Every structure is written in C-alpha cells, then in structure tokens.
Structure 1
Amino acid sequence: MIVTTATEAAPGRPDNEDQVFQHGPVVGVLDGVTAPDLPTGCVHGPAWYVRRLVTRLRESIDDASDAPLALLLEQAVIRVRGDHPGCELDNPSTPAATVCLVRADAEHLDYLLLGDSPLVVDRGGRAEALTDDRFDTAYAPIRAEALRGDVPLGSAEHVARQRTAALRKRELTNTPGGYWIAAADPRAAANAVTGRLPLSGPDAVRRAALLTDGASCAVDTFGLFDWAGLLDLVTEQGPGELIRRVRAAETADRDGYDRPRHKRHDDATVALCRFGA
C-alpha cells in the first residue's frame, strides 16, 4: 500500500480541525465537528479532540492491530474521554469528529465510516463512493431550510440559520434514528458503517481515497467531476491538487448563491491509497 496525503486548513482559520494519519496498516482521515456559538460543556475544541483521537487510535492499533476497526475506535474514544474528565461529556455539542478508516492486509481492505467523510474506491476499474448516509438522511430537511441560497455566506441571516440548524442537529447526534459521530460516547463506534473489500481478483481495490467533506465537496457540492474523475486527479496530480481545485471553486462562488453551503471555505483532507503493481 502506497499512501499519499494532503491536508489544509480553511483560509483564515488558525487551526486545522482535520487530521490524516497512517499507522502501520491503518490509514485514517478525521474531521472535527464544530458547534457554532453553542455551549459545549468542554474547555477543548474540535482541533484538540481530533488530535487526541488520532493519538489514542495509534495506541489502540499498537495494542491490538488485528482487532476490528470498530473496537479500535471504541477504545480510542474511551481513552480520549479520560483525557478531559472535568468536562461535561454528555453535552450533545461536546467536541467530536467524523471518521474514515481503512486497514490493508495481503488479501483484504477493511473500512470504517462514521459521519460524512466518504471512502472512494476503484474496484476493477469502476469508481464507487462508500458513505455513511445517515447524516444526510437525518439532516436533509434541516439542510434544506438552512441552505436556501437566498442570502450571502457570512451575512447575519445566514449565521442565524446556521445556529438554528445546529440546535436542531444536536437532537439527532448519536441517537438511534439520527446519526453517529465519534465524541464521548463509545457506543458510536459499534454503530459505524464497516465492511471488507478484496485486494485480489477481478473486483480488487486498486485505489482508495479517504476524504473529509471539505474535499469530497468537489463532487457533491461543486460538481467539478465525478468520483472516477476525482480518483484520476489525485492519482495523476496528487491530493494537493484536489484541494487547490476546491479552493478555486469556493472563491469563485464566494457568496454561496450558486452552491449553497454552510461556510465559504472548509478544512480539506485527502489520503490516497494505491495497491498492487
């Protein structure tokens, strides 16, 4: 497995709330979840949480590298919970992260998805996006109201809509019938989307791209290309070029009228894994 990565904070943001890592056979991208102007009950922010979760994931992998990915994530969440015991960890806005993990052995690629960070794979020459679609399903009616596209990004009305959406989203976080993300409740790991793909044979995975939504928006928000085109771009020109294209699209639609979204720019992270000859 050959891994190439790129990550970049949103322009003007001091901290990158995304993280990317490779530790032995495991590769992951994580995206910190921000609760705009809502009390979190915690003195730490999303950037701190994501960094701590990566550290604890590395430890979990060292302890039991062959354990199911969901168990590795569960143990990491428990350990991070112990890193800030004085915080109000039952607050639904406590620092959190989406997670996309893969682990390769000689024959298989295991994956885990939690939240809206997709995995795009090339299997036998066919591109396919593997997603945890529970967030999009649960959040769709809220998103439709928050992102009507009739006011510019950053305006007072837009900010007010985002806060209202965040309040409604809190009710769906880490609940049955809602959606799951890594936060303080280790049960989220058991609710992750997991699976196994072959690394040999006619349907073998040849390439896999792990993306935060700040990078996958190149396809599902801006429509710059399809998933196959995204894989070809990051293979031929590198993950950094995908982020550059996203930045250009964000800047071209500065006010968000053409492509309504929550923020003008977002942190963006890509990990490309290549297998075989």
Structure 2
Amino acid sequence: MTQSTFRGPGAGAGPLMRVWAASEPAPDRLENEDHLLQYGQLVGVLDGATVPEGFETGCVHGPAWYVRQLAARIGVAAARRPYAALAGNLAAAILAVRADHEGRCDLDHPGTPSSTVCLLRHDGDHVDYLVLCDSPLVVDRGDRVEVIADDRLETAMAELRQSALAVAGTGAGADPTIRFRRAVTLQRQQMNQTHGYWVAAANPDAAFHALTGSLPLGGADGVRRAALLTDGASCAVDQFGLFDWRGLLDLLGRDGPAELIRRVRVAEAGDGGPGRRRHKRYDDATALFCDFEEAP
C-alpha cells in the first residue's frame, strides 16, 4: 500500500490531500491490468479491458502495457500543462500512446487495447475530476455521499445481452459460449460510438466524452474524502453488497485500501464468488483513498 501527502498549489493552498492506495492482480492472473497514477496533485486509477480467450486485438501489446503507457503519458501531459483541463490532457495522452505503438499495430481494430480512467486533481480550494467508463469516483460531501459514475457501458451491455440471447437462445438448450462470444463482438462494435460507450483506446476524442467537473473543498458541501475505484474494488458495494458507499469510505479511512481488496477477495471466493454480471470469478482490484485536511 502506498501513502502520500500533497498540499494544493499556490498561496492559500487549502486543505492537504493525504492519499492511500493499493492495487492487486486477480489471484488467478500473473499480470495486473489495473494501474495507479500519482503525479503531484493528480491521482488516478486505470483499468485495462481484459481480452477474452480466443479474441484478437490487432495489437502486439496487451492491456497491461496499454494502461502503463497511458498512465505515463497522462503524467507527462500533467507535467507539461499542470492546470489544463483534464479531458485535454487525457486526449493528448491517448494520442501519444498511439505513437508509442510505433506503427506495429492495427489501431482501427475493434479489439484494440482500452482502459477506463478515473482522475482527481487537487487544485487549492477545489478538486477537478474526470471519469471515463466504469471506474467510479465516490466523494463524501458532509451530509451526503455522491457517486460519480459513467454508466454508459453498463447500459450498452444490458442491451447487448438481450441481443446475444436472441442469437444463442435461452433455456436448457442455450449455448452460453455462443452467447458470450456474441456479446463481446457486439460490445466491441459499440466502443467509442455515439450510441454506445466511451473508453480510452486509440481515439483521443473519447476523452471529451468523459464526465468532468470541479467540486469545492471546505464549506458545508465541500469534499471531505474521496475514493477512486476500479470495478474490481467498487464491486464490494454494487455487486457483493458488503456495505454502502459511506461504509466503503469509512473502511478505507480506518483500515486502508488493502483491507477493502482483501474483503472483496473473500466475497469472490465464497458462494457468490463468480459475481453478479461477471464472466470471471476474480478481477484485478485497485482503490485509491483521499482524505482532505485543513492545513495547520
């Protein structure tokens, strides 16, 4: 688990941001396709899309390579333009990773490597955020907990499952393999499309479809705490129901992100292990927790 403390830029920098983070690959996988990002006042989590067995990507690299490259390029963009809009910096990072492929890959392939992105930047008296695809940001604003989530992938998948059922059928004679392969094929066709969902891949325009905004620090509705999560960690609430969102923040603040991941692993290994709406038993899990304290 990593721990860092940042002070906002400029005079009257506002609250300190203390950061705790942990990331762990799925127990049945050697390589972690999640990634943590910490660069100055900018923190983030990324979740690379796992390539199902038997599917091509048109790329000689894998999801783990893609998330590492994208995180590094986001850091470079932040170094060059520390106060630029997060969407603009993400677009620049995606464009830079295109060049990192060095012409060896078919970046127009529907299975080209992709990643979710969740970013939070401490900027004195406020924080800026960006959420792209299904890695949510959870913020404690005193009397309420707010979840900033991009649900377009979930909406698209619900529709795709219905289409897959129409092809593979239902009941005892249905073929789940055909249904799954059909759903994956349809999902790829919906990636970075107006009526589908948006994710960081090869098209920099996706960055401008992210959910973005700013939230105050301090005051009655100011952000006290925040959690950036990949779906392998957010499933503690929205799939396994281990606690509610405020309970998740309480656990992170009390016991840290590694304990959250441990509890997810226990749930995955239990009777409900395969998880609701999952095609795999385990998933990579990453959680980053920010606590904002007034400077002395």
| 1:160 Cα offset (Å) | 4.3
Within the candidate set 175, 196, 205, 1:187 is matched to: 205
- Where does residue 41 of structure 2 map in the other structure? 25
Cα separation, partners in 2 of 1:64 and 1:249, compared to 1, 3 Å: same
- Where does residue 86 of structure 2 map in the other structure? 69
* Range with bigger deviation, 162-171 or 12-21: 162-171
Q: Secondary structure at the match of 1:175?
A: coil
Q: Which runs of 5+ in 2 are unaligned?
A: 1-16
C-alpha distance in 2 between matches for 1:221 and 1:145: 23
Give runs of aligned pairs for residues 213-232 of structure 1, distance below 5 A.
Answer: 213-232=231-250
Cα separation, partners in 2 of 1:249 and 1:146, compared to 1, 3 Å: farther
Question: Is 1:139 matched up with 2:193?
Answer: no
Give runs of aligned pairs for residues 1-277 of structure 1, distance below 5 A.
Answer: 1-36=17-52, 37-84=54-101, 85-143=103-161, 158-253=176-271, 256=274, 259-277=276-294
Q: Which runs of 5+ in 1 are unaligned?
A: 152-156
| 1:162 Cα offset (Å) | 2.8
**Deviation string for 1:92-128 (max 9, x for gaps)?**
2100100000101111111001100000000024212
Give yes or no for contact 1:35–1:166 (8 Å, CA) kept in 2.
no
C-alpha distance in 2 between matches for 1:132 and 1:93: 21
**Deviation string for 1:192-237 (max 9, x for gaps)?**
1101110121000000000000000011111111101111111101
Higher RCO (CA < 8 A, seq sep 6+): 1
Give yes or no for contact 1:31–1:50 (8 Å, CA) kept in 2.
yes
Give yes or no for contact 1:254–1:264 (8 Å, CA) kept in 2.
no
How many residues align? The count is 270
Q: Which amino acid aligns with 1:25?
A: Q
Cα separation, partners in 2 of 1:160 and 1:242, compared to 1, 3 Å: farther
C-alpha distance in 2 between matches for 1:201 and 1:255: 41
Give yes or no for contact 2:267–2:273 (8 Å, CA) kept in 1.
no
CA RMSD between the two structures: 2.0
| 1:167 Cα offset (Å) | 0.6
| 1:182 Cα offset (Å) | 0.3
TM-score by length of 1: 0.92
Cα separation, partners in 2 of 1:30 and 1:159, compared to 1, 3 Å: farther
| 1:254 Cα offset (Å) | 6.0
Larger Rg: 2
Q: Which amino acid aligns with 2:55?
A: L
C-alpha distance in 1 between matches for 2:70 and 2:127: 22
C-alpha distance in 2 between matches for 1:145 and 1:248: 33
Cα separation, partners in 2 of 1:199 and 1:226, compared to 1, 3 Å: same
